[in-house]
Amino acid sequence: MGAAPRNLLVIMSDEHNPKIAGYAGHRIVSTPALDALAACGSRFTAAYTPSPICVPARASLATGLPVHRHRAWDNAIAYDGRLQGWAHALRKRGHHVASIGKLHYRGQPDEDYGFTESLLAMHITGGIGDVTHLVRDPDDIRTRGRISSPRRALGKAATPCMTGMSRRPPRSGCARPVLAGMYAPGCCSSRWGRRIFHLPHRLSITTVTSARICRGRSSTMRLSGRTTLCPHVRAAFGLLRALQRLGRLQRALAGYFGLVSFLDEQIGEILTVLSETGLADTTRVIYTSDHGDNLGARGLWGKATMYQESAGIPMLLAGEGVPVGAVCATPVTLCDASAAILDAVGASEAISELGLPGASLLDLANQPSQNRTVLSEFHTYGPDAFYMLRTLRHKYVCYVGAPPQLFDLEADPEELTDLGADPAHASLRAAFEARLRAILAPELVDQQAKADQARTAEHYGGFEMLRRREKMAFTPPPTAKTH
């Protein structure tokens, strides 16, 4: 902690399954820009979202706090800036803090998120979000996701290109200019004046060459085997059934793979700009995503589960002080990325000032096998909350009102063997439960989330009215018509 201050570029994509990248060993998708970033820095192979859904995850990055502390529980109760995070802390210290693209905050004009400037900000739909997330329906299965046409995917969501990079003069004791930039390539740069929102989130069939290549190869893919599914994850099952019924599963996979490749091209453009402007040597780079996507593994599509495809995220770190070409197995989350943002620009003292639980990725990259515990939690769709703890070897999932899951990731990296009811692992499950209860009270936090959701639902007409509303399968782009 206490790294030399340098510029910082944070690139956050949307719904990027950590397995779908060349550096991760994927045999179809080409990601040369991300591969190069991983080669010149460190990649974290046990990186997780604080919550496998957009708004809570992005609120955790903004605040550096787990969901039960910032209480942006779902895609209707969003971050409003009142709880100050790293952006506020850096702006107070004189840094220029620029954001471009998807934030998924509440988005009211009088709210202050700590940025010096915010370009093309994308927030929850209409400043309201998906209020059907407030209804904790045990039968909530969302099947409305559609595969978008190329025009819908690449045309209406495009706006003129802006990079929004700026710096401030160095202060006394600061050797270099510092940029704290949050660039979400859900809204990513292109020299050709086009911009795509929230990639690779939408189920889109693109017209780029990479999508055509992926479409042919994806037909040979073998989806991961099924496991016994807890009722809490049924919401992630519905869209897959719809895709299978329509005969579009391979087409959807090809679209996703093509969008990842297209996203990589845009990231390559951004990194090229860094080099051309002479900033590459004085800028650290973080690449990550808000959460993953099941992509058919275990018979699931979408997010909303604690399996690796959904709760896992890519996490790359490059720049001064970062081990080159290194692989770090230490578990981390977006809360650690928040701490790293402060540390990387020379404001590490703000980590303790804000009471952040995370550790800087800059520190963790130099200690590649720490057996630390990280947390993820989920508070929407199904009837009750569920929580995940990940250590170096194991993953434990606690479901309020249902039996837990336990996976030995050393022996079972694909999470196909659930040890949640295995008598031989009873003591280990008890130890994990005790560790979770030392962090939070699962039932109490579940009640707090439901109370906040009930109050918000009442504001929008009550649960019965919300049950009659059409459920969103995906967040629409800023140009879409909503009802």
Answer yes or no: are the C-beta atoms of 376 and 48 closer than 8 Å. yes
Convert the pLDDT of each residue in 398-438 to its tens digit.
999 999 999 999 999 999 999 999 999 999 999 999 999 99
**pLDDT at 94 (0 to 100):** 95
Could you tell me the residue ranges of all domains in the chain? 7-370
> How many CB atoms lie under 10 A from the CB of residue 216?
11
Helix axis angle for 334-344 and 54-63, nearest 10°, is: 30
CA distances to 21, 139, 292, 424 from 38, in Å? 11, 41, 18, 39
**pLDDT at 369 (0 to 100):** 86
Answer yes or no: are the C-beta atoms of 330 and 44 closer than 8 Å. yes
Tokens 């290194």, residue located = 326
Residues 6+ away with beta carbon under 8 Å from 404: 396, 397, 398, 420, 429, 432, 433
Convert the pLDDT of each residue in 242-263 to its tens digit.
666 656 778 888 888 999 999 9
**pLDDT at 310 (0 to 100):** 95
Is 261 in a helix, a strand, or coil? helix
Compute, in degrees rounded to 10, the torsion defined by CA atoms 207, 479, 63, 54.
Answer: -60
C-alpha to C-alpha distance for 423 and 118, rounded to whole angstroms: 53
Is 151 in a helix, a strand, or coil? helix
Q: How big is the chain, counted in residues?
A: 483
DSSP 321-344: TSPTTEEE-S-EEHHHHHHHHHHH
**pLDDT at 103 (0 to 100):** 93
**pLDDT at 368 (0 to 100):** 80
**pLDDT at 471 (0 to 100):** 75
CA distances to 247, 385, 398, 413 from 430, in Å? 44, 19, 11, 22
Full-model pTM:
0.86
Tokens of residue 450, six digits: 């439901």
**pLDDT at 232 (0 to 100):** 61
In the beta sheet, which residues pair with residue 286?
A: 10, 317
**pLDDT at 476 (0 to 100):** 57
**pLDDT at 144 (0 to 100):** 53
**pLDDT at 247 (0 to 100):** 64
Please list the ranges in the chain whose pLDDT falls under 70: 1, 138-247, 473-483
Q: What percentage of the chain has pLDDT greater than the value 70?
A: 75
CATH number of 7-370: 3.40.720.10
Is 96 in a helix, a strand, or coil? strand
**pLDDT at 240 (0 to 100):** 61
